[in-house]
Structure 1
Amino acid sequence: MKLPCSECSIVSFRRRRIRLWFLISLGLAGTQMYSPQATGQVLITGSVKDSVTQLPLTSAHVILDGSNLGTITNREGDFEITLPSLPATLIFRHIGYHPARVELTPNDTRVIHMSLEPAAIELPELLITGDHLATGIMQEVIRRKAARRVHLESHNARVYTRITLQNRDRIVLINEAVFDRYFAKGSGIRDVIRSMRTTSDFHEQLGLTLAPQDFSSDHVQINGLSFFGPTHPDALEHYTFTFAGRRVWDGQQLYDIYIAPKSNQEATLIGRISVLDGVYALVEADLKPAPHVVFSPDTRDWSVMYRQNFAQVDSFWLPTDLQLQGWVHVEPNGERVSPAVVEQAVRFMDYQANEPVPSAPFTVEEQLQVDSTSVLRDGLFLMGLDMVALTARELEALEDLRWEKPLALREAFPPTTSALASAVELYDFQIWDRPQFSFPVVGGFIPWLAYNRVDGTRVGAGRVFSVRNNRKIAARIGQSIGFGRTRLGVALNRQETQSLQTSVVYEQNTRPQNGMLIHTEALNSLSSRLFAQDYFDWYWSKSLRASARYETKGIRMMLSGEYSFVDSMQTQIRRPWPLNKEFPENQSIRPGQRQSLELRVATGSMWHPYHIDPQKRVEARIEFGHPHGSRADLRATLLADYNFSTFMRRRPTPPRLSLRILGGVTTPSASRDRWHVAEGSVGLIGELGTLRSIRNRRLIGRQMIGAHWEHDFRSLLFEALRIRPLVEHNVSMRLGGAHVYINGRWIHELTLSIARAPVRINFTRRVDQPGIFVGFGIAGRN
């Protein structure tokens, strides 16, 4: 029985995540207490195969004759259905096969293995095929769908859905839910979960949702993108349709049609659809996102195939099931995890068209909601609701998972042991800040190579060692050719809890004065060695630092204290051939002891100085310093990134505006090497957040504020000019600016860029100076 929404406690699914992994045990126990035989009901199980190939048929329909009671087969062709009584007749249907009937009496077996015969159709000797036939069919499909939907004011259905995720070794998540789907014209769809059993709830972090797609709708939502549906009113403008053949379904003729995008500038699908002759309705879809579609930067890969069947409800054609299978690689907020194999089975039941639907779900903006009262009671599962049968592997995994605590995303999908992953592990607990790019692992060791004007060439290596009780030790050692002091770093890290991490680090090394904000030591090494002067000033440091990191509800905090001894370093290196000249003198600092205490608070994505992919983050840093023999000082820093789509948002890569705010202030007592910097370019390399017209140096001041922006117009200009090669190769045009206040004056720049990943060319004009500054940068894939 469906509960009226006015009597339910409905909350947003995103605002209130209900972890009910313990209900699996309760549900299994309840299922044992619930016996179909005890109530006169009969459980029928079995399988459906192709009679020729003997392969299992997925999504075959098993229906009780004369009723709307039925189920579908899982990916192994297995099914289970509970009948109210015997005798009864079951009908087996699958598109492209002759239907079959089985009559059951009280004395018959309760296990049925059915083989369906393929339905062959003889094509006439002369058949006009190709785009014209397919286009004509689709025109009629779109016309009739519009005519039918005019009369569809509302509908509701009960939906069963199950998501299964597995890593390289085993199944790590099984999530089942039953919900009511309500549709109201003008208000859209709302899904209210009535019953749920889950082992973990991290599937949402991977862009997966319990709410199934409807590929007969005008727009289809997949992983945050809105795709044009194959029966969209303007589908003929976005897709090329090609006739593929004919089949038989329940004595009627089907047209198979290939569908492919006309342009790579829109979120479109690719695959095959089937149309029923006579009524010209969509009855089957096998689709996936087109290869050119680019999802959010967190999504590394999305290789998922969707299969959906449709059936007549009154005079309307609505989805009856959905099967999706494939693999996804999503790293939410930059969290490194391995790819996931995903499978989802969905079944729609008990449709009612043009019947009143409750208004309460439509008062909440989110589509997926939770009826918490019904979920906690879990009545639908315990009452023996027919579901899509679990496979043998899923049953075995469910037995294991119900005794484990719910897994977190990183526990379920640990990063693969690759060169990059191993390198990141060394930086994960901050011998220094985690880099955006890093050296690969060679023979289990991470190389350390750098060049600057005080060290010359510096070489070394590091390695991470795991010890017991969630502890890790990292060590690295190096030596420079010019400045003959040994570089050493040793760190001890402990994972106290899932949210708390502590570390102690001892390091003796050269450090850049005023720190690193945008440009890295690796880029400076390359630039210094080949053709430019050293971008940084350097000093010698021996330091001992203790820190604690804590993360909760998307907010990251780090508190660290450091005791150090610092000293100046003099320039001793001549520039190598072909320059063969001395570097400019390195800036001196006041030697002595220092103590500092720093607090960092951040939310959003990790800090990536080179703005390759869109970022959304805010970070505040406050550092209290006390040099020996001097007055204490305070240093505050703000880093913020934001981006949003500006227009044409249905394109897979819509035009986007990116913003970066950098600012800071220090007290008058702070020494010059602790002031804030406005970054320039290193050689010809300038990124968002830098002043590209200032070459090979940085501006330093006690107060600094910088607003940097860039609008990526994608290939719109080249599309308007009909320069097809640039459009096909995803060449984009970007317009940006930098507005920086430092040392009592403003500096304004405008930049026009031409980009194709991974390179961009920048043309910069500084407002108060003549000339155009030409440079280069890194262009991201999104």
Structure 2
Amino acid sequence: MVKKIMTTQWVWLFAVLLLTKPVQAKVIQGTVTDASTGEPLPSATVHVLGAYDGTISNTEGKYVLSLRSLPAVVEVRYIGYRSQRYNVTEDAANVRDFALEPVPIELETLVVTAEDMGPNIMRKVIAQKQTWWDSLETFRVEAYSRFVLHKDTEIVAIVESLSDGFWDKKKGWREVVKDKRETENLDLDFALPAAAGVNLYDDETVLVGHHLIGVTHPDALDHYDFVLTGRRKMDDRIIYDIDVKPKHSLKTAFNGRVAVLDSVYALVEVELTPNRTFLFPPPVREFTITMRQQFSNFGGDYYLPVGYQSDVNVEVGMIGLQFPPFKRQRVSRLTGYEVNVALPDSLYDRDRIVVVDSARVEQDSLLVQTGLAVPLDDIEQEAYARIDSTMTLDKAYEPKGFLARFVKEDEEKKKSKKNSKDSERKRKLPFRVDPDIWFNRVDGGHLGSKISAGSSRSRAVFAGGGAYNFGLKRWSLNGKATVRWGADKKGFVSLEGFRGTDTRHRSRLYSRYEVSLRQIRGLEDYFDFFWREGVRGTAGYRFGRPRRAGVRLSGGINVAQHSSVEKTTDWHFSGDIDVQRPNPEIDPGNLRSVFLRADIEGKNSGPALIFGKRKIALEVEHSRSGFGSDFDFTQVRVLLDWRIETMFKRRLLPNVLDVRVVGSAFAGTLPRQRFEILDLGVLLSRVSIFGGFRTRVDRPYEGEKVLGMFWEHNFRTVPFELVGWRWAAERNIGLIVHGGHGRTWFGDLTLLDYAPQYTDGFHHELGVSINGLFNLFRLDFSKRLDAPGFFVSVGFVRF
């Protein structure tokens, strides 16, 4: 995670938080000021009457407006001032300054009522919105955005984009970037949005995964307290200033104010910031954003955004690593609306919201035209002239702390790799070599390597390897060839050959490499083992889009010879167990079986260890003497992993319930090498993991049939927010409640010559965890319910 933070794309990910037709009839520009003081009026609305065209002034009051047809009437508006109009013809001056006169307001005697006027006004705003919102289906808009990145008070980078934005009420935003411009220290291979993203008039606003209910949502009065705090005038019309505050501190919502135009009851300006539930996981320590937006109906029926400004402040760090504060300012201008028009279907063929028209961007011609951008202020113009290619973001945001040198070394390696990309390509081997190492009481030291050629996108993939087992004094060999078919390579056929040891029972949590440290540390060996030699053929097909939720069906045959192996070593580095248990014998013979497997995958967010996962796996294996097999059985195995969002679903990280269900059943006579287990949740001393029993530390439960359920509910920071422990919530310290329940079964006629780990009844345990300690760990307290036992362990943080 740390290595990714300093990439340029990560820095501009926060900029994303939160084109324009080249034909111009005329361009006018000037400055909007206060007539009495001469002070500039920033974010003044400059729009064309009778057309969905407009812009806003910059921080110095400067504006530029491109007119697409003449004659036109341009109106300049600012709350608290009298509007001015300018008739633009072909002969009209191109430079036009506007000095707006303040409009004093005469305060009337307020009548005290049972209900503050704020809710009553907003009730009318919500009702009025529905009169035109229901008929607004689509629009197309010309958009411009500028992102300015600061370190302290100095500008370190600027990027501008010009695009065509497309909005569909059902399908959402799409944007085609036609030009972009940036300071010399940037070379972005992607574009930032100019139109897509924020419309604070919408029922809901999505900011970095948080879903905030809008102030004009039909149910907004149930979620917000609206308080009338003042009145201003714009021309001869009253503007109501209303403070916005969530009714419930745990709801994901806004704080701020809105300005409502009297009689039509429409929003003309808002300034909002997310409330205190706007929290992020480590390494983000602080994230604040303030958004301002202006609206106009352009003389028509629909109130649409004209301008958008936002200020983002982010602090990123962890123990041993701290980055300089990140500050980003954004200004956007939207104009040229075309309402309820047909949008190209091709825009929604892909999930990408923002795409770049590379051919147009390479021409680099649109942004140099006057009238298409909000003017740069003097400081921004100076930054464009000052910043050169050597003033990189890596230098500007160089981290501090004892871990900083690792980030720097990683960045240097990336740069070196990028600079030598062509030569690297020439020297690159057509295959990959990885180590294949583990240790246990049967193999002893297993030392070898794995070689693979191809990737998940390749039509053909080959993998193989070999290793020497120093305890058994035998070689292990394996090879596998896979061919994918179909246009999207969703179908596959594979053939695998193998010779070596295998685990007698299959773990859903651990590999042989991961459990090696148990015996090396002197703990009891986790697995039992047997020797197998044979081949396996598989064919299957995946339904669904690549790397997305879908269903994979597969089936095949197994042909293998199974035999027993003995323990070869008790060696360990240190610990309490000097002599490991014997390795049990299996039921030797020839296995001939067929199998079917179905894998159903839901939408997953990241590594399962940290983020949980959504997957169901069902496997059926059938062996019979009619196949030439020495075994007659049918076994069914089920594994369900699912994450369910339970409460506070509008947050980036809602409360979630993670559930794992493990089960197996059989018919016939099941060989010992097909017995099943319920895993331990603690593998090494006091280190725990989700999906196993946390109150057992020696060996997993074993049986011919198993059934287990493991669950944990992550309440995140909510319990500490409820009791007012804000310091804990701001540090992302949360609470998890967890449990485990299960048992295994052996048949009454099953004869064993070894002592399996087994309990004649259900194992029940419950526990509580403090999650997010030092941003990395969780502390688990687990109590066994069906027998005495209390255990404390440490695991990695769960999100």
1:357 aligns with 2:377: no
Contact 2:124 2:265 in 1 (8 A): yes
Higher mean C-alpha deviation, range 95-104 or range 318-327: 95-104
What does residue 172 of structure 1 align with? Answer: 156
Q: 1:569 to 1:53 in 2, by over 3 A?
A: farther
Residue type of the alignment partner of 2:332 = V
| Contact 1:680-1:698 within 8 A present in 2 as well | no
1:225 Cα deviation after fit: 1.9
Moved more, 82-91 or 130-139: 82-91
Q: Deviations over 1:362-412 (max 9, x none)?
A: 3333332333444344453355442101122222322345x52795x6455
**Closer/same/farther in 2, CA of residues 145 and 495 from structure 1, 3 Å limit:** closer
Checking the alignment, whether the CA contact within 8 Å between 2:737 and 2:767 is kept in structure 1 is yes
Query: For residue 601 of structure 1, what is the aligned residue in structure 2?
Result: none
| Superimposed CA distance per residue, residues 663-710 of structure 1 (whole angstroms, 9 cap, x where no aligned partner) | xxxxxxxxxxxxx99845767x85658853247x899xxxxxxx9965
Q: Are the equivalent residues in 2 in contact too, given 1:762–1:777 (CA < 8 A)? A: yes
Match of 1:258 in 2: 243
2:160 and 2:336 mapped to 1: Cα distance? 18
Contact 2:680 2:696 in 1 (8 A): no
CA drift of 1:189 comes to: 2.8
Q: Which amino acid aligns with 1:270?
A: N
Contact 2:321 / 2:404 at 8 angstroms: preserved in 1?
A: no
CA distance in 2, matches of 1:209, 1:69: 16
Whether the 8 Å CA contact 2:521–2:573 is kept in 1: the answer is no
Per-residue Cα deviation, 1:697-749 (whole angstroms, up to 9, x for no partner): 899xxxxxxx9965335289989xxx9648998774522449999x9758977
Structure 1's 778 and 289: CA in aligned 2 closer, same or farther, altered over 3 A? farther
Pair 1:303-2:288 in alignment: yes
Measure the CA separation in 2 of the matches of 1:717 and 1:422.
33
- Alpha-carbon distance in 1 for matches of 2:418, 2:249: 42
In 2, Cα distance between equivalents of 1:422 and 1:81: 52
1:258-407 paired onto structure 2 within 5 Å: 258-297=243-282, 299-313=284-298, 314-329=300-315, 337-401=323-387, 403-404=388-389, 407=392
Q: Is the 8 A contact 2:699 2:757 kept in 1?
A: no
CA shift in 2, pair 1:494/1:780, >3 Å: closer
Counterparts in 2 of 1:68-467, with a 5 A limit? 70-81=54-65, 91-101=75-85, 114-128=98-112, 132-168=116-152, 170-199=154-183, 200=186, 211-297=196-282, 299-313=284-298, 314-329=300-315, 337-401=323-387, 403-404=388-389, 407=392, 410-415=394-399, 417=400, 421-423=401-403, 425=405
Residue 68 and residue 234 in structure 1: after superposition, are their counterparts in 2 closer, same or farther (change >3 A)?
closer
Task: Indicate how the Cα distance of structure 1 residues 643 and 734 shifts in structure 2: closer, same or farther if over 3 A, else same.
Answer: same
- DSSP-derived class of the 1:143 partner: helix
Structure 2 unaligned spans of 5+: 1-8, 10-18, 422-443, 446-508, 510-519, 524-546, 548-570, 581-603, 615-640, 662-678, 701-707, 745-754
Work out the CA distance in 1 between the residues paired with 2:143 and 2:779.
52
| Aligned counterpart for 1:753 among listed residues 756, 759, 768 | 768
Name the SS for the 1:74 alignment partner.
coil
Q: Is the 8 A contact 2:292 2:310 kept in 1?
A: yes
2:71–2:90 contact (8 Å) kept in structure 1: yes
Alignment of 1:684-723 (within 5 A): 688=690, 692-694=694-696, 710-714=711-715
Are the equivalent residues in 1 in contact too, given 2:27–2:64 (CA < 8 A)? no
Is the Cα contact below 8 Å between 1:570 and 1:585 reproduced in 2?
no
Note if contact 2:55-2:307 (Cα within 8 Å) is conserved in structure 1.
no
Matched-pair contact (CA < 8 Å) for 2:230–2:242: yes
- Asked whether the 8 Å contact 1:130–1:243 carries over to 2, the reply is no
Q: How does 1:514-533 map to 2 (within 5 A)?
A: none
CA, structure 1 residues 406+194, in 2 after alignment: closer, same or farther (shift >3 Å)? farther
Letter of the structure 2 residue corresponding to residue 156 of structure 1: R
Contact between 1:220 and 1:229, CA under 8 Å: does it hold in 2? Answer: yes
Range 182-191 or range 341-350, more displaced:
182-191
Matched residue, 2:474: none
How much has 1:154 moved relative to structure 2? 2.4
Report the TM-score when normalising by structure 1: 0.57
After alignment, is 195-204 or 228-237 more displaced? 195-204
CA contact (8 A) 1:569 1:588 kept: no
Residue 358 of structure 1 deviates from its aligned partner by: 2.8
Contact 2:295 2:306 in 1 (8 A): yes
CA–CA distance in structure 2, aligned partners of residues 405 and 740 of structure 1: 64
- State whether residues 735 and 752 of structure 1, in contact with CA within 8 Å, keep that contact through their aligned partners in structure 2: yes
CA distance in 1, matches of 2:242, 2:105: 16
Cα distance change on mapping 1:337 and 1:760 into 2, 3 Å? closer
Distance 1:284 1:694, change over 3 A: same
Q: Distance in 1 between matches of 2:715 and 2:367?
A: 49
- The answer for the alignment partner of 2:40 in structure 1 is 56
Residue correspondences, number: 555
Counterpart CA distance in 2 for 1:169 and 1:698 is 59
1:528-587 deviation line (CA, Å, top 9, x unaligned):
xxxxxxx9679xxxxxxxxxxxxxxx9xxxxxxxxxxxxx9999xxxxxxxxxxxx8797
Conservation of the 8 A alpha-carbon contact between 1:61 and 1:72: yes
Preserved contact between residue 273 and residue 286 of structure 1 (Cα < 8 Å): yes
The unaligned stretches of length 5 or more in structure 1 are: 1-16, 18-26, 28-33, 431-469, 472-492, 502-512, 519-534, 539-553, 555-567, 572-583, 590-603, 618-641, 662-675, 700-706
Which SS does the other structure have where 2:263 is aligned?
coil
Q: Distance in 2 between matches of 1:330 and 1:423?
A: 14
Deviations 1:63-89 (A, max 9, x none): 467766543111233333457899997
- Give the secondary-structure state (helix, strand or coil) at the position aligned to 2:143: strand
Distance 1:494 1:718 in 2: 42
Q: Structure 1 residue 770 and structure 2 residue 787: aligned?
A: yes
What is the percent sequence identity of the aligned residues? 27
Deviation, structure 1 residue 344: 0.7
Contact 1:734 1:755 in 2 (8 A): no
Q: 2:470 maps to what in 1? A: none
- How far apart are the structure 1 equivalents of 2:243 and 2:140? 31
- C-alpha distance in 1, partners of 2:82/2:683? 72
1:160 match: secondary structure: strand
The Cα RMSD (Å) is 5.8
Letter of the aligned partner of 2:308 in structure 1? L
Contact 2:166 2:343 in 1 (8 A): yes
SS of the residue corresponding to residue 714 of structure 1 reads: strand
For residues 717 and 331 of structure 1, the distance between their equivalents in structure 2, rounded to whole angstroms, comes to 23
Pair 107,147 (structure 1): closer, same or farther in 2 beyond 3 Å: closer
The offset of 1:167, in angstroms, is 2.4
Structure 2 CA distance for partners of 1:678 and 1:268, relative to 1, 3 Å: closer
Instruction: Give the Å deviation of 1:112.
Output: 5.8
1:463-542 to 2 correspondence within 5 Å?
496-497=416-417
How far did residue 321 of structure 1 move?
Answer: 0.8
Residue 311 (structure 1) shift: 0.7
Tell me what 1:734 maps to: 737
Letter in 1 for 2:645: T
The amino acid of 1:367's aligned partner reads I
| Cα displacement (A) at 1:305 | 0.7
Residue 259 of structure 1, CA deviation: 0.9
Say if 2:42 and 2:57, in contact at 8 Å, map to a contact too.
Answer: yes
Output the CA distance in 2 between the equivalents of 1:268 and 1:232.
Answer: 11
How far apart are residue 203 of structure 1 and its match?
11
1:13-63 Cα deviation digits (max 9, x unpaired): xxxx9xxxxxxxxx9xxxxxx9x9xx995663x433445665532211234
